[in-house]
Amino acid sequence: QVQFVESGGGLVQPGGSLRLSCVASLSIFRTYAMGWYRQAPGKQRELVAHITSVSFTNYADSVKGRFTISRDNAKNTVYLQMNSLRPEDTAVYYCNMGRPVPDYWGQGTQVTVSS
Q: Rounded to whole angstroms, how far apart are CA atoms 17 and 32?
A: 27
Q: pLDDT tens per residue, the chain (115 residues)?
A: 888 999 999 999 999 999 999 999 988 888 899 999 999 999 999 999 999 999 999 999 999 999 999 999 999 999 999 999 999 999 999 999 999 999 999 999 999 999 9
Q: Rounded to whole angstroms, how far apart are CA atoms 86 and 100?
A: 26
Cα dihedral sign, 111-112-113-115: negative
Contact 17, 113 (CB under 8 A): no
CA distances 35 to 7, 31, 67, Å, are: 15, 13, 13
Closest CA to 37 of 3, 78, 76: 78
Contact 108, 94 (CB under 8 A): yes
